[in-house]
Structure 1
Amino acid sequence: MSGDLDLTVARKVLEAQPFSVLLGARLTAFDGEGATLELDIRDDLRQQHGFVHGGVLSYAADNAITFAAGAAVGAQVVTAGFTIDYLRPAQGDLLRARARIVRAGRTRVVCRCDLSTVDAEGAETPCAVAQGTVSVLEDQNSA
């Protein structure tokens, strides 16, 4: 983990994101290995067939990937790009996005994210996988 980042600080960063607050996202894990983001599946997050909307899955992957990268290199990071593959329709009570660092360089971090849904009994079902690249921002004080 880089700098003074820990789960408490990371949660404050998440709480400062209005869109994350709107979705009700929460960080349940954050360490040198990566980050886990969860959100309750609500009816207003579903598409017309009753599955969790792909945009919600993409949000969860994007944010989990960026937090995982931040755990490795610090808070000054932004997503450079990511891809997502939907494995099956997302149904359940909870969406869980677990992102892990594949490689952390000086200016870029590559992460993988496994997304799953969790039902009322606690059974986890994979629904998507994503891989992303995160850019480390230049130190604004040295520019």
Structure 2
Amino acid sequence: MEFAQGILDAQPFSRLLGARITAFGPDGATLELDVRDELHQQNGFVHGGVLSYAADNALTFAAGAALGPAVLTAGFSIQYVRPARGTLLRARASVVHAGRRQAVVRCDLSTVETADPTDPSASETLCAVAQGTVLSTAG
């Protein structure tokens, strides 16, 4: 997991957002970030661009666990199911299918409203679902 966090930390935008990898392996990847005022849109919800960022990175990290570290997102779609409110954004991605050169990956994005997001009793609210294709760039 330290390797994955190191790759995330090499992305200036991810450092700006304070994103972190909290799970990484054959079962997928989880990316989290604390929600702060600067990440809201005008109505007080987490901005859709922040949700898209989290989906893109979680999809790519999950695929990287299956295809190797040299991967790029080829494309993804995202459906917003409800406005995102909370203190933490969690993006959980898992590989649906992986071949030699590409993977199809799904990501559920949820918010958590709690002072302690590690509390097992903290409830998550699904706010978006994404699916994408990630390609290996290894030659």
Q: What TM bracket, shorter-length normalisation? A: over 0.9
Report the more deviating stretch, 118-127 or 29-38: 118-127
SS at match of 2:44: coil
Stretches of structure 1 lacking an aligned partner (at least 5 in a row): 1-6
Instruction: Kindly provide the amino acid, as one letter, of the partner of residue 81 in structure 1.
Output: G
What per-residue deviation string (whole Å, max 9, x for no partner) do you get for residues 47-100 of structure 1?
A: 000000000000000000000000111100000000000000000000000000
Stretches of structure 2 lacking an aligned partner (at least 5 in a row): 116-121
Question: Is 1:69 equivalent to 2:63 in the alignment?
Answer: yes
Please, what TM-score do these two structures have when normalized by structure 2? 0.94
Partner of 1:132: 132
CA distance, structure 1, for counterparts of residue 134 and residue 59 of structure 2 = 8
Question: Is 1:35 equivalent to 2:35 in the alignment?
Answer: no
Partner of 1:11: 5
Question: Is 1:86 equivalent to 2:80 in the alignment?
Answer: yes
Please, what TM-score do these two structures have when normalized by structure 1? 0.91
CA distance, structure 2, for counterparts of residue 34 and residue 120 of structure 1 = 24
Partner of 2:17: 23
CA RMSD in angstroms comes to 0.8
CA distance, structure 1, for counterparts of residue 138 and residue 85 of structure 2 = 40
Instruction: Kindly provide the amino acid, as one letter, of the partner of residue 126 in structure 1.
Output: L
CA distance, structure 2, for counterparts of residue 8 and residue 138 of structure 1 = 22
Question: Is 1:55 equivalent to 2:54 in the alignment?
Answer: no
What per-residue deviation string (whole Å, max 9, x for no partner) do you get for residues 102-134 of structure 1?
A: 001111110000000001162210000000100
Amino-acid identity (%): 67
CA distance, structure 2, for counterparts of residue 92 and residue 132 of structure 1 = 25
Aligned length: 133
Aligned-residue offset at 1:138: 3.2
Aligned-residue offset at 1:15: 0.5
Instruction: Kindly provide the amino acid, as one letter, of the partner of residue 13 in structure 2.
Output: F
SS at match of 1:126: strand
- The ranges of structure 1 where at least 4 consecutive aligned residues each deviate by more than 6 angstroms after the TM superposition are none
